[in-house]
Structure 1
């Protein structure tokens, strides 16, 4: 039997790296804009994809319903998102960025790109592209595992 060593266990290492990056991002967004990571993710997804239900946001962000709901409430209370009836499902609402939400996005997005540049400054363009491709493959493999149940 092969022993499990966390330092060599790739899912663990991926989680640690992800948490480290998320912590750095969270600190910057909280200090500059008073945003938590789930709130920033919702702002970004809505900026990229337009109006969406909370269920769709859960799928896009891979965050649970409670986290998405709390983030949506916080953003709504700050006037950053608007809720409208969902013509396709009367039990849900569509969330969209308000004018203030768009203004925030346009202010935060360049800072997010700069943070990404700093984190990956030691990587070549080819290495960054390879990492993106590898992450895509990991996500696809996980989706296949989840589909098998």
Structure 2
């Protein structure tokens, strides 16, 4: 677990526990990492394609569906409907996206990429892969797999926590949805667990150094 307090040296050379800091909490670090990642991606796509990060997300989501409702795109991109509408309008004006009549609901429209939009998507996806590979350079493939597995479980836990908060539940009484990993006599499983533990330690140290430099 990420430590909530750190040891600091006093004037007499002794060490004592520093006051707890939000900077050491998992939620705080995730927020910082997400903001840094978004800023890098925004600069990257703006410079190379003159597209904002939300525009790239909308393009990618639409490409994945072929044709899709505006409501689904806005939800998948995690954008407010009013902002998503402006993003879509900008892409339509640039000839990247087009609106179609929704045959199953006359009150809504379907979105799909134009031929130009498909070419833009191919270029955007190639750039996303390059950025993804760059961010993974410090890690072994097993570490990346472990981290992606961690993120999947974290997303599920965030969804459960959101529901608990909305229903007025008590966070302190919440029980973990995932049981602890049982002990195993298998050398391969033991090695995998050790790898995951080392990866978690490396990730913690790396984030700490990076956020300290950013602060």
- Structure 2 length-normalised TM: 0.65
CA contact (8 A) 1:26 1:36 kept: yes
Contact kept? 1:38, 1:67, Cα under 8 Å: no
Tell me which structure has the larger Cα radius of gyration. Answer: 2
Give 5+ residue unaligned stretches, structure 1.
none
What residue in structure 2 maps to residue 91 of structure 1? 107
Q: Report how many residues are paired.
A: 148
**So what's the TM-score if we normalise by structure 1?**
0.91
SS at match of 1:91: coil
Q: CA deviation at 1:4?
A: 5.4
2:141 is aligned to 125
Distance 2:161 2:70 in 1: 24
2:151 is matched with 135
How many angstroms apart in 2 are the aligned matches of 1:45 and 1:115?
18
Higher relative contact order, structure no. (Cα contacts within 8 Å, ≥ 6 residues apart): 1
Aligned-pair CA distance for 1:67: 2.4
Inter-partner Cα distance in structure 1 for 2:77 and 2:53: 11
d(CA) in 1 for partners of 2:97, 2:138: 36
Q: For the residues of structure 2 that align with 1:75 and 1:127, how far apart are their CA atoms? A: 37
Q: Which has the higher helix share?
A: 1
Quick one: which of 106, 118, 131 aligns to 1:115?
131
Q: CA RMSD in A?
A: 1.6
